[in-house]
Structure 1
């Protein structure tokens, strides 16, 4: 095989790998939405996520039809129960440190504190919340290193697979109204409060 043929094969393989990386999150997302019996959708339908509108839609695999509202024949109670188990609304308070993937925030151009210092700061905020001195939202408004500070830390509704694994596990493990202990992710250290 000539060098040009080898290079052509390498480019094709690289292209296929790149394309599978681009499409795999959507494919993985679909598989996370469970079986048809769990979702209450009629046979042939699945739940997908619109990237442009950041909301779910319903897709029929055989007809390639897509609709925003649940298709005819959907067990709406089962669908609502499925969505409730796979979607939460939470707020969080994020304190970054120098070793996170993006060590800057709206408050600081360059964050230099250590992880231990970030945890100590967050423990202080946690104690204030537990003592009833302030709410997570009140503290997040002035102290969070996340852009969600503008909404008192509110992240809105999110589904499984949208957040970093440790954050997702903690958020979905909380009861409504419950505050997490400190959760560590690649973004920093968080306190999470679940609302729905």
Structure 2
């Protein structure tokens, strides 16, 4: 019964968009095959009303992302064509993990220097987000953390991450 579509919030524009994780298709406009009721039932539909249902928890997190050749967009501010394997990306993150240990400050420094996400310029800070805004594995890991706690390595369509919950 699921259409495969979900609604996400654009980090760059601050407005909702439609995304299909199966096909990797995204659109600013609602998919024509969906009725208004179907759109209202999509994961992330709270973004369409500009607010949440009141019980949606918002958290803040930072991350350190290492992309690989199978990432959704295998390029970044550092490299125009990323060719490393997922295993190599994971090994790189393990090295960073060993460097920062439990230090939030060192994590932020490493994210500034090495993260393949545009959030590197904010020390990896993604700002506040609620459920339905991030890719599911990232969301699940971030919401499971306590403030000040680091995740282990998480794999998403974007690459491999280590997450630090900050609020």
TM value normalised by structure 1: 0.62
Q: 2 CA distance for matches of 1:151 and 1:141?
A: 7
> Which 5+ residue runs of structure 2 have no aligned equivalent?
1-29
1:173 equivalent in alignment to 2:144:
yes
- Which aligned runs of 4 or more in structure 1 are off by greater than 4 angstroms? 21-26, 131-134
Distance change (3 Å), C-alpha of 1:107 and 1:22 = farther
Shift of 1:136: 1.6
Contact residue 63 and residue 125 of structure 2 kept, 8 A: yes
In structure 1, the partner of 2:42 is 28
Higher relative helix content: 1
In structure 2, the partner of 1:185 is 156
In structure 1, the partner of 2:32 is 18
Distance change (3 Å), C-alpha of 1:88 and 1:113 = same
Q: 1 CA distance for matches of 2:35 and 2:150?
A: 35
What is the aligned residue count?
138
In structure 2, the partner of 1:112 is 83
Matches within 5 A, 1:74-153: 79=54, 82-83=55-56, 86-130=57-101, 132=103, 135-153=106-124
Q: 1 CA distance for matches of 2:36 and 2:72?
A: 21
> Which 5+ residue runs of structure 1 have no aligned equivalent?
1-15, 32-47, 59-78
Contact residue 44 and residue 133 of structure 2 kept, 8 A: no
Contact residue 50 and residue 57 of structure 1 kept, 8 A: no
Q: CA RMSD in A?
A: 2.7
- Greater gyration radius: 1
Q: Which has the higher contact order (CA 8 A, sep 6+)?
A: 2
Distance change (3 Å), C-alpha of 1:21 and 1:108 = farther
Shift of 1:28: 2.4
1:49 equivalent in alignment to 2:47:
yes
